[in-house]
């Protein structure tokens, strides 16, 4: 039995559309021009964040490559973004099932984000990836003014002349998690400073071994940051490093929850039985070995803190 939905008063039809889930609303938007006009504004108002936006400064020419990633099964952000794009005058865009890619100048990017904001609540993203240069920090600060971004991804060299600006950007965006790709040297000082403004730091990349890394890990976890992950980096921890870190955390952290995980050196698996038992629990610190076919990792965490991915 069919129901003449569009013969109802517009207020009632709009209310019905507002209660529809994303998949149903998407089907209604594609059913006819009339249902599209009713469904699209509702979908745009639900504007869910994109999965990630990646900015890459091009060498020469002053242009910036931008990749907008929808994320898996994210109908809402994909539909809202593509629908708003139809109303925006912009340069050539390359669209596929995973996202949208374009290249613009800095001024064109600012104009593009302003135009998109007039069609939706503005471009939102769960994560931003960029190189922390003065140009990129200034641009992101401008186009995301008044918005929050949960995660930032960037490379951290041993010397960053725009580091204060990067810290201000993290505070402005109310970012709580950062993914840091390491450069040639281990930037212990900068990681310690970043630990004062975020809850979670995940580290990746190949870097020269630093003998003070255990002390730095303790310094990081003694601040606001309560989750530190080295597993995707080249750094490996010796048993002496882990015992030192365990003792320091147990003595200084007290009851504050924390989580630490890293790769362990191969010789860890050949530790004596006594040392292995000591790794199981140390007052407020629980240590767990995770063995796989290609690597050994270890977790140090507060006994009341569950494993985090």
**Alpha-carbon span 126 to 53, nearest angstrom:** 8
Structure-block tokens of residue 285: 């610190």
- Whether 198 has a pLDDT exceeding 90, the answer reads yes
**Alpha-carbon span 150 to 176, nearest angstrom:** 6
**Alpha-carbon span 113 to 143, nearest angstrom:** 6
- Whether 149 has a pLDDT exceeding 90, the answer reads yes
Spatial CA neighbour of 201 closest among 241, 267, 156: 156
Spatial CA neighbour of 187 closest among 165, 162, 226, 216: 216
More confident call, 120 vs 167: 167
- Whether 270 has a pLDDT exceeding 50, the answer reads no
Q: How far is CA 215 from CA 146, 210, 220, in A?
A: 37, 10, 9
Q: Note the pLDDT tens digit of each residue in 101-146.
A: 889 889 988 988 887 776 656 678 899 999 999 999 999 999 999 9
Q: How much of the chain, in percent, has pLDDT values that exceed 90?
A: 26
- Whether 210 has a pLDDT exceeding 50, the answer reads yes
**Alpha-carbon span 33 to 172, nearest angstrom:** 41
- Whether 191 has a pLDDT exceeding 80, the answer reads yes
SS3 at position 202: strand
Contact 202, 180 (CB under 8 A): yes
Q: How many other C-beta atoms can be found within 10 angstroms of the C-beta atom of residue 299?
A: 19
Contact 263, 231 (CB under 8 A): yes
**Alpha-carbon span 303 to 233, nearest angstrom:** 25
Residue-level pLDDT at 273: 39
Mean pLDDT of 183-207: 89
State which of 64-68, 197-201, 206-210, 243-247 shows the largest mean pLDDT: 197-201
State which of 127-136, 266-275, 290-299 shows the largest mean pLDDT: 127-136
- Whether 201 has a pLDDT exceeding 50, the answer reads yes
Contact 127, 149 (CB under 8 A): yes
Q: Note the pLDDT tens digit of each residue in 1-37.
A: 555 666 667 677 667 666 666 666 666 666 666 666 6
Residue-level pLDDT at 3: 59
* pLDDT class of 95 with cuts at 50, 70, 90: confident
Contact 210, 233 (CB under 8 A): no
Lowest average pLDDT, out of 2-6, 120-124, 199-203, 294-298, goes to 2-6
- Whether 75 has a pLDDT exceeding 70, the answer reads no
* pLDDT class of 159 with cuts at 50, 70, 90: low
Which residues make Cβ contacts (< 8 Å) with residue 289, sequence separation at least 6?
Answer: 264, 268, 279, 296, 297, 298
Residue-level pLDDT at 81: 73
Mean pLDDT of 195-212: 87
Residue-level pLDDT at 43: 58
Q: Which residue has 């990646």 as its token pair? A: 54
Q: Compute the mean pLDDT over every residue in the chain, rounded to the nearest whole number.
A: 77
Which residues make Cβ contacts (< 8 Å) with residue 301, sequence separation at least 6?
Answer: 257, 258, 259, 260, 285, 286, 307
- Whether 237 has a pLDDT exceeding 60, the answer reads yes
Residue-level pLDDT at 275: 42
- Whether 283 has a pLDDT exceeding 90, the answer reads no
Mean pLDDT of 256-275: 65
More confident call, 226 vs 122: 226
Contact 160, 184 (CB under 8 A): no
């Amino acid at each position: 039995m069919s129901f003449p939905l569009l013969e109802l008063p517009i207020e009632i039809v709009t209310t019905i559309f507002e209660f529809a889930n994303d998949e149903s609303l998407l089907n209604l938007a594609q059913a006819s021009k009339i249902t599209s006009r009713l469904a699209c504004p509702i979908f745009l108002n639900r504007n869910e964040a994109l999965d990630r936006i990646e900015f890459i400064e091009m060498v020469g020419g002053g242009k910036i490559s931008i990749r907008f990633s929808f994320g898996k099964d994210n109908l809402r952000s994909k539909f809202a973004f593509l629908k708003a794009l139809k109303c925006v005058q912009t340069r050539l865009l390359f669209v596929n099932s995973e996202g949208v890619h374009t290249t613009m100048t800095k001024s064109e990017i600012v104009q593009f984000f302003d135009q998109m904001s007039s069609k939706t609540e503005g471009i939102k993203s769960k994560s931003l990836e960029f190189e922390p240069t003065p140009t990129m920090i200034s641009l992101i600060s401008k186009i995301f003014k008044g918005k929050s971004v949960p995660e930032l991804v960037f490379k951290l060299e041993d010397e960053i002349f725009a580091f204060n600006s990067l810290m201000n950007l993290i505070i402005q965006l109310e970012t709580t998690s950062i993914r840091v790709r390491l450069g040639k040297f281990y930037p212990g000082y900068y990681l310690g400073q970043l630990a004062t403004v975020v809850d979670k730091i995940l580290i990746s990349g190949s870097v020269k071994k630093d003998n003070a890394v255990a002390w730095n890990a303790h310094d990081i976890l003694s601040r606001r940051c309560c989750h530190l992950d080295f597993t995707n980096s080249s750094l490996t921890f010796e048993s002496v490093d882990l015992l030192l870190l365990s003792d320091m955390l147990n003595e200084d952290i007290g009851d504050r929850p924390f989580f630490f995980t890293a790769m362990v050196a191969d010789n860890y698996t050949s530790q004596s039985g006594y040392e292995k038992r000591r790794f199981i629990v140390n007052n407020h610190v629980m240590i767990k070995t995770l063995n796989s076919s290609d690597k050994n990792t270890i977790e140090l965490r507060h006994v009341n803190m569950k494993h985090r991915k």
